[in-house]
Amino acid sequence: MRLQVIPAFVLLLGVPTCAVAGEPAGTVSLRQHGRSNATKAVEDTLRKLGVELLKSSNFNTAAHRGILKQSVPAIQDRYRRVVAGDCLVITYDSPVKVRTVGGEVALFEIVIGLAHPDYADALFTIDDDGRVVAHEKYSGRTAMELRKAADAPATAR
């Protein structure tokens, strides 16, 4: 009986989570002014700040529908506008779990809007079922740091 429990426990240790295993390596795509490039150092900073911004999120449209009162068409419309403009996208090969202020979320992708010149102005995830989830009430300080870091590749060119 014990031998059956141990393999299951070992399998659980292999599940990537930000809270336990550190930051998983996601692919970073910075899309600004029609360009999509950033140095490795900038990518690492953006990945770290992107996950930090997500962790600071208090509410999301999957777990807090009644509080946020955002319709699916409204979420989809805002998401489309964000990805059509300047944004940061962090993509993972398999779902990762991130513990946010508002609870744990499982995701494949983090999408952060960069339309405002002073701070990151939108935060979405694509969950493990492929749904777009909007996140609200996140750290303003981190949003400002992330926006500043996103401008670094532009000044290095």
**Confidence band, pLDDT 50/70/90 cuts, at residue 26:** confident
* Chain-centre distance for alpha carbon 28: 10
Three-state DSSP state, 112 = strand
Q: How far apart are CA 113 and CA 119, in angstroms?
A: 9
Q: Under a CB-based contact definition with an 8 Å cutoff, are residues 114 and 32 in contact?
A: yes
Burial (0-12, 13-18, 19+ Cβ within 10 Å), 38: buried
Q: Under a CB-based contact definition with an 8 Å cutoff, are residues 139 and 53 in contact?
A: yes
Which residues, including other chains, have CB under 8 Å from residue 74's CB and lie 6 or more apart? Answer: none
Q: Does residue 146 register a pLDDT over 50?
A: yes
Strand-pair category, 132-136 with 27-31: unpaired
Please give the full DSSP string across 110-125, using - where no structure is assigned: EEEE--SSSS--EEEE
pLDDT in tens, 129-145: 999 999 999 999 999 99
Give the global pTM: 0.80
Three-state DSSP state, 41 = helix
Q: Under a CB-based contact definition with an 8 Å cutoff, are residues 73 and 92 in contact?
A: no
Average pLDDT over residues 2-11: 40
pLDDT in tens, 68-86: 788 889 999 999 999 999 9
Residue type, 79: Y
Three-state DSSP state, 97 = strand
